Every structure is written in C-alpha cells, then in structure tokens.
Structure 1
Amino acid sequence: MRVSTSQIHQAAVKSLLDQQAALSRTQQQVASGQRILVPSDDPAAAAEVLGLDQSTRITAQYQENITAARQRLNLEESTLGSITNLLVRVRELAVQGANSTLTNVDRTAIGVEVQQNLNELFDLANTRDASGEYLFAGMQSRVQPYTVDAAGNYSYNGDAGQRFIQIGATRQVASNDAGSEVFQGARAGNGVFTVAPHPANTGTGIIDPGSVTDSAAYDGDTYTLSFPVATPATSALVFNDAVGTDDNLTYSLDINGTTVYSVSEAGAPVASLDALASVINDDSAVTGVRALVVDGGLYLLNTTPGAGPITVTERMSGASDGDGDTLTGYFGSSLSGASRPSATLTFQEGAADFYVVEDSAGNVEASGPYGENSAIRFNGITTSLHGQPNTGDVFTIAPSSRRDVFSMVKDLADTLLGGVSGDSDKAAYSNAINRFLADIDQAMEQINAVRARVGARLNAVDSQESLNEAFKLHLEEARSRLQDLDYASAITRLNQQMVGLEAAQKSFLRIQGLSLFNFL
C-alpha cells in the first residue's frame, strides 16, 4: 500500500492534536478537582450530580427554615416563661389579699400592683418577633392580637390558626400558637365545673371549688345549692261547718300578700304537699317565693336572696255561725269564723340549717342538715361550705366554660380595689378570691401545657437539624463519588500523557524530515 508524504504528515498532526487535547482535559481535571467537566464526559453521572445538587439546595433551605423556626419558638418559650412568672406573682398577691386582717387600704395597694401586672400581661400577649410579626395572632401575624376598650374589656383579634414551617422533606413544625389557645384555652373553676355564690347572698358562706369524685356519675348538668326555710305544712285541709247552717266555707292561701290558692268546702282541695308546692310555684313570679318538697316536708325559698321575710297568710271566709265554723289550714293555722278568720306565719331570714341541691329541671338531687366544712355530695360532685349561709342564699354549680386570663386578673384587681364592709361583703370577697385561685391555676396549667408543646417542637427542630446535616453529608459523599477526581489516577495519567505527547512530538520531527529526494 502506498502512503503519501502528506498522509503521513496529516496523521501525525492529528495524533499530536488528540494527545494535546487529552492532556489539556487531564490538566483541567487536576486543576478543578472534578472528574466531570462537561456533561458529555459522563452523561449518566452528570444527570445524577444535578439531582444531588438540587437535593443539597433543598436541604440547605430546610436548615434555614429550622433557624427561623428556632428563633420564633425560642422567643415564644421565653415569653411564655415570663407570663408564667407574672401569673405566679399575681397568684401570690391573691393569696396575700385573702388575709382577713388586711384593711381596705392594704387591699387597694395589692390591687394596684395586680393592675400593673395586668398591663404587663397585655404587653406580653402582644409580643412581636424580629420581623415585626405578632407571636400570638395565629395566621393574622400583622394584626395586633389583643386590644382593650375603655371599659376594660379585652378582645382577641387574631384567629385560631398556626403557621407551619417545612423543616424536612415530610416534616413540618408549627412556629407559633394562637392567643385563643394560650390565653383563652383554660376552663374556669376546677376545669370540670365552677361554683359561684349569688351576688345577693346575705350569709357568710364561702363555697369550696369542689371536685369530681366519681366521673361516671357526673352528668355535666347545672345545679343550684340553696338553703330554704322549713315550714309546718301538711297535705291536709280540714273544714268544720257548724250543724244547722248551710254555709259555703272558703279557704284562701296568700304568699307575701298575693292569693295563690283558694278552695271552698264544696270543692276538691289539693291533697298532697307536691300539689300544694305546685300551686305556690305557679305564682312565684309575683310572690318572689317558690316551694319545694324534700323528705316529706314543704320548704319555702325566696327566688332572690336577701328579698326579706316570707309571709304566709291563711284565711277563711263564708262563715255565718261565728266561732262555730272552723278550719285548719295546710300550714296548721286554726281559724274560726268570728275570732280568728285569718292567721299569718312569718319566716325570717336567718342562719340556715338545711340545704337542698336541685338540677336544672328542679329535681332534688341531694339534701340534708347543713354543717360547716361538711361534704356535700351528689352526682359525682363533692363540695363544701365554710362559714354560715343564711336561709335564702343560693350557690350555682355549673359546667366549666373557657375563660380568658385577662378577665381573671381584671376581676381580681376589681375585687381588691372594691373594698369590703360587713360580713356578707367579706364572704363575697372570699368567694371571689377562691374563684380566682381556682381559675388562675387552670390558666397556668394551660399555659404550661402550651409551653411544653413549644419545648417539644424545639426538640423536634434540633432532631431534624441533625437528620438534615446527616442527609446533607450523605449527598456530598454521593456527589463526591460521582464528581470528584481521583488525583492519584489523574496524576499518573497526566504523566503518561505528557510522555506520550513528548514522544509523538519527537517522532513527528524525524518523520517530517523524510523525503525520497534525500536519496536521489
């Protein structure tokens, strides 16, 4: 085969250029430390590296999100800690204010400090983060969560939402808590039910917050604990019309001056205490008195405590035989036509010795002699009273509802600043303090529960940060295996390519000088 000089020359040049290109590529790899300089070097590996780079960028974003979440959660945890310390102080002031030896001046001084704490609590509830967003406004982070009007009423303007931040491929964490959950999530009283005295009570009874001692028996109804007055009433009404006349004797029963029942001897009088109580209760709205039957006895009670004595008047009419016509009324009055046609019994308010518990339908659930500090038990509930209630006093036991901590503290301040005068005022004051202590304990428990959840989220953030770091390291290792250069192999190859190129250059110099003319 004939090979021309030009072919030899072109082949040598091409070989030199190829070796120079290979050497240049190896030099670039050594200089950059990367095996893949362009995707065409290893298309499959290059595609995989792109995916790894994207995963690394996403993981880095997760880490930035974790930093932001941690900052907000740390601020919230710190704020909740300050709120807890503040409420502990307010509770100490309430206990201090419960001291019976304090004067109204002393109570006022304590009340002023409670007001200052209330203002600080308001400021803490409106805490902002470094970007000016409110911590406790839910999703409405640019809206001030709490405002107060001129009357001292506090309003929540946020919502119940939470803002979630993505901290992992399948994991989110809430970076805040709504104020409605933090400051309004507690149930008043003991967390199950509340106890409250009627504001018009005249006695010195102070009710215990109570507890549920049998959850299976507790039915969540609203109950009334009252102290009625016992009466001598019976179920018998006896007419005695004198022989020889045909009178139509009539019996009338008046409560506080209002006739509630009337019947003639020709009629059919009510024949049971329950029926008698029913006719009395039909006019309770007018007389201000209601009746109830307990353990075979009829009891009377003012519908509003402190309304005054209850008068019961029994009257006989229609007699024509003077004292020969007689009548014995339900309340034991012995009436006669001439000398005693009517009789009045007056039941004064005074120290109570008997209690009755009724449900919301008026059914009697419990009753018995009243004893100071003696347990009153019914339907899974146990409570007691300290002090001496008066007949007519009423206490309500109702299921707990949610109550905001601002109202709790404000009511305490108002109680301390309101002053105390008289035994009934002292009882109302003590009941208010007891109610606050029960309520604030529930509020603090709620805030501590939120604080615990914040701590759990901080732990989750720390855990996820470690997972992200480990995953990021894994990505970098995988990328390194695909992209990073094996320097030992590359240097060896570089030296081989340099030797090869040098040999090719020398051979090319000798070959290009060959010509037939040199031998002619």
Structure 2
Amino acid sequence: MRISSSQIFDAGVAGMQRIQSALYNTQNQLDANRRVLTPSDDPVASAQELITTQSQSVNQQYLENQGDAGNRLALEEDRLSSLVDLVQYIRERAVDAGNASYSDKQRASIATDLQQQLEQLKGLANSADAQGLYLFSGYQGSTQPFVTTASGTVQYVGDDGQRQLQVGASRDISISDSGLDVFARIRNGNGTFVTGGGASNTGTGVIDAGSVLNPAAWTGHSYSLSVTSVNSAVSPPVSTYSLTDTDPATGASTVTAGLNFTAGAAITQIPGINFSIKGTPTVGDTFSVTPSTSQSLFATVQSLINTVNTPIAGNTAAGAQLQIGLSGSLVNLDQALSNLGRVQATVGSRRSELQSLTDLGTDVNLNYTKRLNDLVGLDQVSAISLFTQQQIQLQAAQKSYVQISGLSLFNYL
C-alpha cells in the first residue's frame, strides 16, 4: 500500500494532537483535583455528585444553625447564672435585715442596696444578644420585655412564645425563653399555699411558711385564723382562735370556733397542711392561709424592699410584721431560685442536644465528603504517573514526527 507524504504528516499531527488533548485533560484534572471535570466524563457519577452535594449543603446549613442556636443558648445560660447569683445575694441581704440588733437606719441602708439590686435585675431581664434581640421577650425579639410603669411596678410587654430554629431535618429547637416563664410564673409561698399576718396585728405572733403534709387533702380554700383569747399564764402561751374556711369557687364560708393552739406548736386543723405561730399574739390578731398564686420576681424584691424599709424601733408588733414579711420574702426568693434552676436545666438540656446533633452532623458531613471523593475525586499518584507518561509519549511523537518529516529522496540524489 502506498502512503503519501501528506498522509504521514496528517497522521503525525493527529497523533500529537490526541496526546496533547489527553495531556491537557490530565493537567486540568490535577489542577482541579477532580477526576470528573464535565458530566460527559462520567454521567452517573456526575448525577450522584449533584445529589450528594445538595444533601451536604443542607447538612452544612443545619450545622450553622446549630452553632447559632448554641451561641444564643450559651448567652442565655450566662444571664441565668448571673440572675441566680443576684437572687442569692438578695436573699443574703434579706437574712441580714432580720438581725434583731440592726437599727432602722441599718435596715434602710440594706433597702437602698436592694433597690440597686432590683435595677440590676431589670437590666438582666432586658438582656439582648449581639444582634439586638432581647433574650426574654418571646417572639417579639425587638421589643424590650420589661418596662417600669408610672406606679413603679415592672410590667412584661413581650409574649409567651419561644423563638425556634431548625437544627435538623425534623427538629426545631427553642433558642429563647419567655420572660413570663423566667420571671413571672413563680408560685409564691411554699408553692401550695401562702401564710400571712394581719396588717393591724398588735401582738408578737409570727406565722411560719408552713408545709404540705398531704397534697391530695389540701382543699385550695382560703383560711383566716382570728385569735379570740390568749392564756399567758402558761408557758408557752395557749391561744384560742376561730377558723374561717372560704371556698373561692362559691364564696361560701364556714366558721369553726374554740380551737386551741400553743405558741410554736404545729397547727393541723386545715386538711393536708400544717403551720405554726410563734410569739404571743393578742386578741383580735389575724393570720391567713391562702392558695399560692404566681408572683413575679420583681414584685417579690419590691415587697422585700418595702418590708425592710418599714421602721420598727420601739414597736414589737411592727417587729413581728417585719419577721413575717422577711420570712415570706425568703420563701418567695427560694421559689424564684428553684424556677431559675428549672429554666437553667432546660437550657442545659437543649445545649446538650445541640452538641449531640453537631457531632452527628459533623460525622455525616465527613461521610458526604468521602462519598464525593469516591465519585469524582482524583487519585493523585495515578494521575501524576499518567501525566508523566503522556509527556514522554508527546515528546516521542514530536521527535519521531520531526525525523519522519525530514525523510526525502532528494537527500539521496
């Protein structure tokens, strides 16, 4: 078969172009560190890559959301810890105010300190994050949750919601807590009932916070104890009282008279509970036992300030009222601390769940990366070896082309 010079040249050029194209493709693969540069290189792998990349993007977004949620909850947990420290300090000052050796002036100094702590409490309740969103305002992140009214009371103007953030395919997590839940929905008294003394009492009787003996037996009624006689000839004194039982549902009242109690001994006439009255009440003094209601932490601290600010010098009845007020405030502060602890526990639980989700998401992300590498990744060692081989082939093709193209009969004439 005859081969013309043009065929030789064309074949040589085509061979070099083919090797150059393969070398160029290998070079691009090395530059991109990818085996598949276009869908035509491997249609099946390209389709799987698209699906895997989309799944990885969604997973990455969840990881970012988890990080954002974790930061927000960490800030809330920090503020809650500060609140616990503040309430514990207020409680210590309340205990100090109960020191019988303190003068009215010393208690007034404590009241001034408590007023400053109340302002700090308001500041913590109105904490905001780096974006200016309030932590305890519910859904209304841009609304300051607590404001002081003209009468001096603290009012909540947020809502009862919890802001949510999606941190998984089927998991939304709360990244805030309502101010109502943290500061307002706190049961006063011992959580079941509240004891108190009449404002016009003239004796030294002091009622304690009481305790629940049988929750099922507690009626939820309001009770009023009125002292009808006092026998101070014995020690401790024995008093007679009448007990009025009022059903809040119907307003009906029943009175039981001629009941006795000894100062400091448990009074058990009310079903399911007991309490005691220390000191010596006088005839006409009254004491109350009512069902617990929700009382805000701000109201508790303000009530404590008012109690501590009341002068008692030379007035034994006022001293008894001070002890009753301080006792009630201490119980209410304990309830507030318990509520803060509950909220802290829920925040900690959410942070723990986020950490678990993040660990899982990170592992899933690594699996996606490995899957993508298996689909379209490049074996660097093999690619470099192929690149070197193609370079040698190209050099050989170029050299042989030069030699063949130089062949001519005219060289032998």
Q: TM-score, normalization: structure 2? A: 0.87
> 1:41-190 maps to which residues of 2 (within 5 A)?
41-190=41-190
Provide Cα deviations, 1:320-362, integer angstroms capped at 9, x if missing partner.
Answer: xxxxxxxxxxxxxxxxxxxxxxxxxxxxxx9942343524232
Tell me what 1:412 maps to.
304
Stretches of structure 2 that go unaligned for 5 or more consecutive residues are: 231-236
In 2, Cα distance between equivalents of 1:457 and 1:375: 43
Which position in structure 2 is the counterpart of 1:390? Answer: 282
Contact conserved, 1:183 with 1:404, CA < 8 A, in 2? yes
Letter in 1 for 2:162: Q
Q: How far apart, CA to CA, are the structure 1 residues paired with 2:403 and 2:121?
A: 96
Q: 1:36 to 1:367 in 2, by over 3 A?
A: farther
Q: State the SS of the aligned residue for 1:227.
A: strand
Q: Of residues 329, 332, 356 in structure 1, which corresponds to 2:243?
A: 356
Partner of 1:363, secondary structure, is strand
- Mapped to 2, the partners of 1:415 and 1:219 lie a distance apart of 30
Pick closer, same or farther for the CA change 1:367–1:450 going to 2, 3 Å: farther
Distance in 1 between the 2:258 and 2:217 partners? 17
Question: In percent, how many aligned pairs have the same letter?
Answer: 38
Asked if 2 retains the 8 angstrom alpha-carbon contact of 1:83 and 1:121, the reply is yes
How far 1:464 sits from its partner (Å)? Answer: 2.5
Provide the secondary structure at the position in 2 that maps to 1:99: coil
**Number of positions where the alignment pairs a residue of Structure 1 with one of Structure 2:** 401
Q: Per-residue CA shift, 1:433-463, capped at 9, x if unaligned?
A: 1111111110111012112222222222333
**Residues 137 and 159, structure 2, Cα contact 8 Å, conserved in 1:** yes
SS of 2:385's equivalent in the other structure is helix
Distance 2:48 2:219 in 1: 65
Q: Give the whole-Å Cα distance in 1 for the aligned partners of 2:407 and 2:255.
A: 131
Q: Does the 8 A contact of 1:188 with 1:442 survive in 2?
A: yes
The answer to whether the 8 Å contact 1:198/1:395 transfers is yes
- 1:439 pairs with one of 316, 319, 332: 332
- 1:479–1:365 distance in 2 versus 1, CA, 3 Å: farther
| Counterpart residue number, 2:29 | 29
Q: In 1, distance between residues paired with 2:370 and 2:239?
A: 84
Return the alpha-carbon distance in structure 1 between the equivalents of residues 385 and 122 of structure 2: 74
Structure 1: tracts of 5 or more residues without a match: 231-349
> Structure 1 residue 468 and structure 2 residue 352: aligned?
no
Shift of 1:465: 2.4
Contact 1:228/1:356 (<8 A) preserved: no
1:114 CA drift (Å): 1.1
Q: Tell me, yes or no, if the aligned pair for 1:91 and 1:440 is still in contact at 8 Å.
A: yes
| Alignment partners' CA distance in 2, 1:33 and 1:148 | 63
Aligned residue in 2 for 1:490: 383
2:295 corresponds to: 403
Q: Larger helix proportion, structure 1 or 2?
A: 2
Q: 1:513, CA displacement in angstroms? A: 7.5
Counterpart amino acid of 2:308? L
Task: Tell me the distance in 2 between the aligned counterparts of 1:473 and 1:386.
Answer: 69
Q: Deviations over 1:121-150 (max 9, x none)?
A: 111111122222211111111111111123
In 2, Cα distance between equivalents of 1:365 and 1:379: 14
Shift of 1:84: 1.3
Find the residue that maps to 1:183 and give its secondary structure.
helix
* Cα contact 2:30–2:380 (8 A) shared by 1: yes
Whether the 8 Å CA contact 2:304–2:329 is kept in 1: the answer is yes
User: Structure 1 length normalisation: TM-score?
Assistant: 0.70
CA contact (8 A) 1:351 1:389 kept: no
Map 1:204-243 → 2, pairs under 5 A: 204-228=204-228
Structure 2 CA distance for aligned equivalents of residues 12 and 400 of structure 1: 100
Q: How many angstroms apart in 2 are the aligned matches of 1:469 and 1:454?
A: 22
Distance 1:500 1:93 in 2: 90
* Match in the other structure for 1:430: 323
Residue of structure 1 equivalent to 2:234? none
Return 151-160 or 45-54, whichever deviates more: 45-54
Name the structure 1 match of 2:233.
none
Task: Identify the residue that residue 271 of structure 2 maps to in structure 1.
Answer: 379
CA shift in 2, pair 1:103/1:351, >3 Å: farther
For 2:100 and 2:244, the matched residues in 1 are separated by 30
Moved more, 189-198 or 497-506: 497-506
For 1:481 and 1:212, locate their aligned partners in 2 and report how far apart those are by CA, in whole Å: 67
Query: 1:116 and 1:495, CA in 2 relative to 1: closer, same or farther beyond 3 A?
Result: closer
Residues 1:367 and 1:482: Cα distance change in structure 2 (over 3 Å) = farther
The verdict on how the C-alpha distance between 1:178 and 1:398 changes in structure 2, with shifts beyond 3 A counting, is: same
- Report the secondary structure of 1:439's partner residue: helix
Distance in 1 (alpha carbons) for counterparts of 2:159 and 2:92: 32
**In 1, Cα distance between equivalents of 2:385 and 2:253:** 101
